[in-house]
Amino acid sequence: MHALKQSLLTIWRLILPYATTRDIGELKLPFIGTVRLQERFIGIGFFVLLVAINLFQVGLSVRLSYFSRDMYNALQEMNAEAFWHQLLTIFTPLAAVWISVAIFEVVVQYLFHIRWRQWLTRRYIDNWLAGSAHYKMLLAGSDADNPDQRIAEDINLFIANTRVLSLGLLSQVATLVSFAAVLWSLSANFTLPGTDIPVPGLLLWVALIYAVIGTWITHLIGKPLIGLSFAQQRYEADFRFSLARLREYGEQVALLSGEATEKERLRERFRHVVDNYMAILSRQKKLTAFTASFFQANVVVPYLFTAPYLFTRQITLGQMMQTVSAFSTVQGALTFFISAYTSFADYKAVVDRLSSFEDAITASHRLDENGAGAQPLKPQTEGGVPAITISGLDLRVPSGRTVLTLPALTFRAGERTLVTGPSGIGKSTLFRAIAGIWPFGAGHIGLPEGQRVMLLPQRPYIPMGPLVGAVTYPSSAGTYSREDVARALEAVRLPQLVPKLDDEAPWSQTLSLGEQQRLAIARALLARPDWLLLDEATAALDEPTERAIYTLLQTALPNTTVVSIGHRSTLDAFHERRIGLSAEGVASDTALVPAT
């Protein structure tokens, strides 16, 4: 019972944001036009409309049960006039209404689904990207694997299953109430089989007991499906991600002749998919064996109780068929849990995946509050002297181990600085802390007020889409004129890309690392930040091209302070200061004579 309560609370926690949002949405209504309302009212309105449709359909089902009774009675009495009256005057209009309502229901379902999915997807993407949560989740080793699947697939499945199961449950409750009354009245005078003991509503009690026993056994057999469904979604996502990653790094795999290793890794991941799938099959086989037997027996039970009354002419054929139909309908409502158990298992897995994803996002945001130490590690905006000031900085990895300690360090505006040190000492981590995306540690980082900091890593991110979007990233493609974008590419020695600005291609694979690094420099030329942090951002370039790029930065961005991480001695010529780092802090601070 406690587990059920927790599951219901989790589901409600996932539903509540949409049910309470105050975002404004637009809805186009026939004959009225576009209406602007809070999105929650639109969503709730759709749901209430679906509930009303389901209740109307239940009412139609009750009416059709009486049609069935009268039609069978007409057949038993060989009354052709009554038969054709029931078929043409009663059934045909009811069937037409049923079909019209069914079509309308499909339209409402689809509109409700896509609106909710659109809103929820936007919310998850916003939360996932806010405060670099997507990056911090990776740093913290979050259990929320494959966030792409959780946003693209799990949200869709959650909404579909929530709608189907909730409306199905409401419909079955309404059906149960409606047909239970019918079944009670039809079996009001039945006696216990083989006796003269009257049992009012006998068939209702039989249906209830039969359903309770069946539901309990179904749960015992099917419970492991919940964990298996959760695992199946993870294995499927892992396999799909491995295929996508192989596509992205196809060149590197080919250069190393790693196809055999990749083939074995893909087979291993798919083996998990198959093994878990076979475990689901084994459990589903047992569940199907019971539920199929249960429902086959369900067909016979009402006939066993009603046939004796028909043979003794205590009831008519129409009454018998209505009783059988009512029993089957009540039994179907009572056994809704049995017939939908697999759907419930899949739903529980989806709910758990979305819930854990939300928890991981929340946990990543908390890193901004306390990092991995006693004090927050978050850059602070400061007025006064235009410099980046660091004091009492203790940089750590997610496990809590300290990688770099800096009692005091200042990067002065207008002074080109080169940061050196052994690999793994924490140079890149220092830059990420200055950029505000490394939460692990403690200390003070002060940034000049009103100044923009841009960090270029060794391997730039190249988004999918037209090349112009990759050049202007993270700004939109329309932020800069085409002439400015073309000039930036020509300045970084990529004139051959100018005619391809509108082309879509896998640019992260098409361009060499050196070309990608020069494209990133073009971004800096367009953005013109106050501070440019280069984390080995020219390491893939040959020395003459690297010299040309640094010369370009001096002339094209005279008001931008450049701070570089590098290992080449040739970089000294482009900087005025070299800071050597060690695990204990600043090992050396040397003035340089830059080339003129």
d(CA 53, CA 57): 6
Could you tell me if 68 and 318 are in contact, meaning their C-beta atoms sit under 8 angstroms apart?
yes
Over the Cα atoms of the chain, what is R_g?
35
Could you tell me if 449 and 530 are in contact, meaning their C-beta atoms sit under 8 angstroms apart?
no
Token readout for 527 is 């953005």
Could you tell me if 483 and 520 are in contact, meaning their C-beta atoms sit under 8 angstroms apart?
no
d(CA 579, CA 214): 75
Could you tell me if 22 and 36 are in contact, meaning their C-beta atoms sit under 8 angstroms apart?
no
d(CA 183, CA 170): 19
d(CA 406, CA 513): 32
pTM: 0.69
Handedness of CA 398, 403, 407, 412 (dihedral sign): negative
**CB-CB neighbours of 491 under 10 Å:** 18
Handedness of CA 499, 502, 508, 509 (dihedral sign): negative
Could you tell me if 426 and 395 are in contact, meaning their C-beta atoms sit under 8 angstroms apart?
yes
User: C-alpha 174: how far from its chain's center?
Assistant: 33
Of 583, 259, 268, the residue nearest 402 (C-alpha):
583
Could you tell me if 581 and 425 are in contact, meaning their C-beta atoms sit under 8 angstroms apart?
yes
Which DSSP helix (H) or strand (E) runs through 59? helix 39-76
Q: Which amino acid is at 326?
A: A
Any residues with CB less than 8 A from the CB of 432 and at least 6 apart, and which?
Answer: 438, 455
d(CA 35, CA 24): 10
State residue 371's pLDDT score.
46
Could you tell me if 553 and 475 are in contact, meaning their C-beta atoms sit under 8 angstroms apart?
no
Q: What would you measure as the largest C-alpha separation in the chain, in angstroms?
A: 115
CB neighbour burial string for 219-257, b if at least 16 within 10 angstroms, e if fewer = eebbebbbebbbbbbbbbbbbbebeeebeebeeebeeee
d(CA 212, CA 220): 13
State residue 342's pLDDT score.
66
d(CA 442, CA 406): 11
Q: Which amino acid is at 33?
A: G
Token readout for 544 is 């003459």
Per-residue DSSP letter, 393: E
Give the CA-trace dihedral at 316, 318, 320, 323, to 10 degrees: -140
Could you tell me if 383 and 529 are in contact, meaning their C-beta atoms sit under 8 angstroms apart?
no
d(CA 243, CA 257): 17
d(CA 168, CA 376): 49
Please count the residues of the chain: 596
Axis-axis angle for helices 317-334, 39-76 (nearest 10): 150
3-state secondary structure 118-151: HHHHHHHHHHHHHHHHHHHHHHCCCCCCCHHHHH
Q: Which residue has the tokens 């009512």?
A: 326
d(CA 542, CA 559): 26
Q: Which residue has the tokens 């009750």?
A: 62
Of 152, 158, 160, the residue nearest 113 (C-alpha):
160
Of 60, 137, 87, 112, the residue nearest 359 (C-alpha):
137
Tell me how far apart the terminal alpha carbons of the chain are, to the nearest angstrom.
Answer: 77
Give the bridge partners for 448, in sequence order: 382
pLDDT, one tens digit for every residue, the chain (596 residues): 566 677 778 888 889 999 899 999 888 888 788 888 899 999 999 999 999 998 898 888 888 888 888 888 888 888 888 888 988 888 889 989 989 998 998 899 999 999 999 999 999 888 888 877 888 777 766 666 678 778 888 888 899 888 888 887 777 777 777 767 777 777 777 777 666 777 787 777 777 777 777 778 877 887 788 788 878 878 888 888 888 778 767 756 776 677 888 888 889 889 999 999 899 888 888 888 887 787 777 777 777 777 877 787 777 777 777 777 777 777 666 666 666 666 777 788 788 888 888 888 888 777 655 544 444 477 777 766 688 999 888 888 877 788 888 888 999 999 999 999 888 888 999 999 898 888 888 888 999 888 899 999 998 988 888 999 999 998 887 889 999 999 999 999 999 999 999 998 888 888 999 999 999 999 999 999 999 999 999 999 999 999 999 999 999 999 999 999 988 888 998 999 999 998 778 878 888 876 65
Give the CA-trace dihedral at 437, 440, 444, 448, to 10 degrees: 0
User: C-alpha 183: how far from its chain's center?
Assistant: 45
Could you tell me if 405 and 394 are in contact, meaning their C-beta atoms sit under 8 angstroms apart?
yes
d(CA 48, CA 54): 10
State residue 367's pLDDT score.
67
Any residues with CB less than 8 A from the CB of 287 and at least 6 apart, and which?
Answer: 218, 221, 222, 225, 341, 342
Token readout for 362 is 């929340």
State residue 375's pLDDT score.
47
Kind of pairing, strands 33-38 and 24-29?
antiparallel
Any residues with CB less than 8 A from the CB of 493 and at least 6 apart, and which?
Answer: 518, 545, 548
